[in-house]
Amino acid sequence: MPRVSHIVVDWGTSSFRLWALDRAGAVLGERRSAQGLAASAAEGFEAVLEAHLEALAIPEGVPVMMCGMVGSRAGWVEAAYVATPAGLDGLTEKAAHVPSARRLIRILPGLAQRGAEGADVMRGEETQLLPLLRDGFEGLACLPGTHSKWVRVEAGAVGGFATFMTGELFHLLRSASILAPAVEGAAAVDPGSDAFAQGVQDGLAEPDMLGNRLFRLRAAWLLEGVAPETALARLSGLLLGAELAGAARFGGRGPVALIASGPAASLYQVALALAGIASVTTHDAEACVRAGLHAAAVSAFRLERISA
Q: Which residues of 169-203 are buried (b: 16+ CB within 10 A; e: fewer)?
A: bbeebbeebebeebbeebeebbbebebbbbbbbbb
How far apart, in whole angstroms, are the C-alpha atoms of residue 64 and residue 55? Answer: 15
Distance CA 129, CA 179 (A): 35
Residues 8, 64: Cα–Cα separation, whole Å = 6
Looking at residues 217-242, what average pLDDT do you find? 98
Q: Assess if residue 299 is contained within a domain.
A: yes
Q: How many residues in the chain?
A: 308
27 part of a folded domain:
yes
Same domain? For 20 and 154 the reply is yes
Question: Do 141 and 208 have their domain in common?
Answer: no
Q: Is residue 28 part of a domain?
A: yes
150 and 171 in a common domain: no
Q: Is residue 124, in this structure, part of any structural domain at all?
A: yes
For position 112, what pLDDT does the model report? 96
Average pLDDT over every residue of 283-302: 94
**44 and 83 inside one domain:** yes
Q: Is residue 295 part of a domain?
A: yes
Asked whether residue 1 is assigned to any structural domain, the reply reads: no
pLDDT, tens digit, for every residue of 70-94? 999 999 999 999 999 998 788 889 9
The whole-angstrom separation of Cα 234 and Cα 273 is 17
CATH code of residue 289? 3.30.420.300
Euclidean distance between CA atoms 66 and 17, whole angstroms: 10
| 247 has a pLDDT exceeding 90 | yes
Helix (H) / strand (E) containing 55? helix 45-55
Q: Helix or strand or coil: residue 203?
A: helix
Same domain, 255 and 289: no
**Closest C-alpha among 184, 170, 142, 130 to residue 300:** 130
- For residues 183 and 138, membership in a common domain is answered with no
Q: Is the bond preceding residue 85 a cis peptide, omega within 30 degrees?
A: yes
Answer whether residue 37 is part of any domain. Answer: yes
Q: Residues 78, 154: one domain?
A: yes
Beta strand pairing status for 64-67 and 6-11?
parallel
Whether residues 117 and 191 share a domain: the answer is: no
State the pLDDT at residue 2. 60
| Residue 237 structural domain | 165-277
Q: Is 259 in the same domain as 296?
A: no
On whether both 13 and 33 belong to a single domain, the answer is yes
Spatial distance between the Cα atoms of 7 and 57, rounded to a whole number of angstroms? 12
Q: Phi/psi zone of residue 184: left (φ > 0), alpha (ψ -120 to 50 degrees), beta?
A: beta
| In a shared domain, residues 177 and 137 | no
Residue 158 in any domain: the answer is yes
Q: Are residues 131 and 204 part of one domain?
A: no
* Per-residue pLDDT, 90: 82
267: CATH: 3.30.420.310
Q: Which pLDDT band holds residue 11 (cuts at 50, 70, 90)?
A: very high
How many structural domains compose the chain?
2
